[in-house]
Structure 1
Amino acid sequence: MSNRRYVSQLGHNEQVQQVFLASDKQLRPNRSGNLYLQLELSDRSGSIATRMWNANESDYKAFENGDYVVVGGATQLFQGNMQLIANSIRKARPDEVDEADFLTLQTEDIDKMARRLAEVLRGITNPALSALAECFLVDEEFMGKFTRAPAGMKNHHAYQGGLLDHVLSLCELALLVAPRYKDLDQDKLLIGAFLHDSAKVDELAYERDISYTDEGQMLGHMVMAMKMIDDKVKEAERLTGDPIDAALVMEIKHLVISHHGEYAYGSAKLPMTLEAVALNLLDNLDAKMASFSQLINDCPNSESNWTQYYPNLDRKLWKGVREE
Structure 2
Amino acid sequence: MMVFLGPSNPLAFTASLPPRSPIVPRTPITELTDGLAVSQSFRTADKQLRVNRQGGKYILLKLADRSGTLVAMLWNADERVFDSFDRGDYVHCEGRTQVHNGALQIILTSIERMDPSEIDTADFDRFDADQADQLDKRLREIFGQLKNVHLRRLADVYLADEVFMTDLRCAAAAVTNHHAYPGGLLRHTIDLMELCLLISPQYPQLDGELLVFGAFLHDLGKTLELSSRGEISYTDRGQLVGHIVIGIQMLGEKITACEKNHGESFPEGLRRQLEHLIVSHHGQLEFGSPKLPVTLEAVALHHIDNLDAKLSSYTTVIESDVAADGNWTNYTPSIGRKLWKKRD
TM-score (norm 2): 0.90
Give CA-to-partner distance per residue, 1:98-129, whole Å, 9 cap, x none: 22222334211111111111211222211111
Aligned residue among 105, 117, 122 for 1:100: 122
Task: Tell me what 1:249 maps to.
Answer: 271
Task: Tell me what 1:214 maps to.
Answer: 236
CA distance in 1, matches of 2:247, 2:319: 33
| Correspondence 1:85 to 2:107 | yes
Aligned residue among 80, 83, 87 for 1:65: 87
Residue 85 of structure 1 aligns to a residue in which SS?
strand
Give yes or no for contact 2:57–2:78 (8 Å, CA) kept in 1.
yes
CA distance in 1, matches of 2:141, 2:114: 41
Aligned residue among 264, 267, 284 for 1:262: 284
Give yes or no for contact 1:121–1:190 (8 Å, CA) kept in 2.
no
Aligned residue among 51, 55, 73 for 1:33: 55
Task: Tell me what 1:175 maps to.
Answer: 197
Residue 239 of structure 1 aligns to a residue in which SS?
helix
| Correspondence 1:200 to 2:212 | no
CA distance in 2, matches of 1:282, 1:105: 25
Aligned residue among 294, 298, 319 for 1:276: 298
Give yes or no for contact 1:40–1:49 (8 Å, CA) kept in 2.
yes
Give yes or no for contact 2:172–2:228 (8 Å, CA) kept in 1.
yes
| Aligned amino acid, residue 80 of structure 1 | G
Task: Tell me what 1:120 maps to.
Answer: 142
More moved, 165-174 vs 62-71: 62-71
- Kindly, what percent of the aligned residue pairs are identical? 43
Aligned residue among 258, 261, 267 for 1:239: 261
Q: Any residues of structure 2 matched to 1:123-142 within 5 Å, and which?
A: 123-142=145-164
Give yes or no for contact 1:150–1:161 (8 Å, CA) kept in 2.
yes
Task: Tell me what 1:44 maps to.
Answer: 66
Task: Tell me what 1:298 maps to.
Answer: 320
How far apart are 1:314 and its partner, in Å? 2.1
Give yes or no for contact 2:277–2:297 (8 Å, CA) kept in 1.
yes
CA RMSD of superposed structures (Å): 1.6
| Correspondence 1:187 to 2:209 | yes
* Structure 2 spans left out of the alignment, 5+ residues: 1-23
TM-score (norm 1): 0.96
Give yes or no for contact 1:100–1:106 (8 Å, CA) kept in 2.
no
| Aligned amino acid, residue 319 of structure 2 | N
Give yes or no for contact 1:152–1:158 (8 Å, CA) kept in 2.
yes
How far apart are 1:83 and its partner, in Å? 0.9
More moved, 88-97 vs 171-180: 88-97
Aligned structure 1 segments of 4 or more residues deviating by more than 3 angstroms: none
Q: Aligned pair in 2 of structure 1 residues 145, 302: CA closer, same or farther (>3 Å)?
A: farther
How far apart are 1:27 and its partner, in Å? 0.5
Task: Tell me what 1:15 maps to.
Answer: 37
CA distance in 2, matches of 1:316, 1:234: 49
How far apart are 1:46 and its partner, in Å? 1.6
| Aligned amino acid, residue 183 of structure 2 | G
How far apart are 1:64 and its partner, in Å? 1.3
Give yes or no for contact 1:73–1:86 (8 Å, CA) kept in 2.
yes
How far apart are 1:80 and its partner, in Å? 2.0
* Structure 1 spans left out of the alignment, 5+ residues: none
Q: What number of residue pairs does the alignment pair up?
A: 322
Give yes or no for contact 1:67–1:208 (8 Å, CA) kept in 2.
no
CA distance in 1, matches of 2:127, 2:323: 26
How far apart are 1:79 and its partner, in Å? 2.1
CA distance in 1, matches of 2:182, 2:147: 31
